[in-house]
A = this chain, B = another copy of it.
């Protein structure tokens, strides 16, 4: 039997996959490549074990090289290594090489100009239409998702009850509350039920079949991405939505100066929820995270709004929470 240690050294490669997020008042964006003609991909690159002292520095270096701007805030998300969901290798004679990818979340304050032609900012709800509840419950849940999931649940009588409960809790059916943080649970449920194009793709690849084109309607089940990139994006959405509640990371997405309404709408676009204006403001100023400047912005159609800035000093003053997102009903 071969020594697994030496074996492990030879047939693995580590990729770094970046979810680079920007947001404006209308929607959050994710940086993708190759979305015009074929499937969109997250930017990814190899980890250079010789040149880079840490994984994070490696990521910063090649994102900078590839896109021409330096990302600021970065955090590690998760390390993905499932066989059959990893990237199919660009046929380079590498038989059974295994690809492990370390996913990172990066936040940038604005949609910087991109240096490469095939890189573009993509609205993330195009890949997750069921995640945007700002206009109330999205129609695709009741229209296409729920019926398809109920069908899947009833396919296996033994697991039926557990599956139904997962569906209810994930997608807020039968009076269960919506939890915007469970974006990954929802994507994994859809994948497991075979309702994403990626699931069909992976199954076809495992059985050596030719994958069908355009499996599920993108209007309801979201535009697919290459390999497991939509899973990584779902992980990033879940993490970011949770984190803005207890760390002031939202200010990594805002410009230096903003009005409180602009800030609120950025939070709303990320969390996919509508917030109560006054409560948002009161909670915010109890934190001491922002500071009014006494300057006002000329607005179209309304009273001018005061400009605020994020008090970076506050990071050092207290445990430093985030902006609260109350739980909505039904």
Binding site for B on A (CB under 8 A): 4-5, 7-14, 45-51, 53-55, 76, 78-79, 81-84, 94, 96-98, 100, 102, 161-162, 165-166, 169, 176-177, 179, 316-319
Contacts and interface: CB of A to CB of B under 8 A. Distances in A.
B162 A84 contact: no
A318 B102 CA distance: 32
Contact of A14 (B8, B82, B165): B8
Contact of A47 (B8, B96, B176, B317): B8
A179 B169 CA distance: 31
A171 to B, nearest CB: 13
A169 B318 CA distance: 7
Given A8-B47, A176-B318, A179-B319, 6 more contacts: A4-B46, A4-B51, A8-B14, A11-B49, A55-B82, A76-B78
B79 A48 contact: no
20 contacts: A4-B45, A5-B46, A7-B46, A8-B14, A8-B47, A9-B13, A11-B49, A11-B50, A12-B12, A12-B13, A12-B49, A14-B14, A49-B97, A50-B98, A53-B84, A54-B83, A55-B82, A165-B317, A166-B316, A169-B319
A110 to B, nearest CB: 27
A316 B162 contact: yes
A8 B100 contact: no
Contacts of A100: 14, 47, 55
* Total copies of this chain within the assembly: 2
B165 A9 contact: no
A205 B319 CA distance: 35
Which 7 pairs between the two chains have the least Cβ-Cβ distance?
Answer: A49-B98, A165-B316, A9-B13, A8-B46, A55-B81, A53-B83, A79-B79
Contacts of A9: 10-13, 94, 97
Given A12-B14, A79-B55, A102-B79, A50 B7 contact: yes
A97 B9 CA distance: 8
Nearest to A103: B79
Nearest to A10: B10
B82 A177 contact: no
A47 B79 CA distance: 13
Contacts of A54: 81-83
A50 B316 CA distance: 47
Contacts of A48: 4, 7-8
Nearest to A90: B5
Most central of A81, A100, A166 by chain B CB within 10 Å? A81
Most central of A8, A76, A83, A96 by chain B CB within 10 Å? A8
Nearest to A100: B14
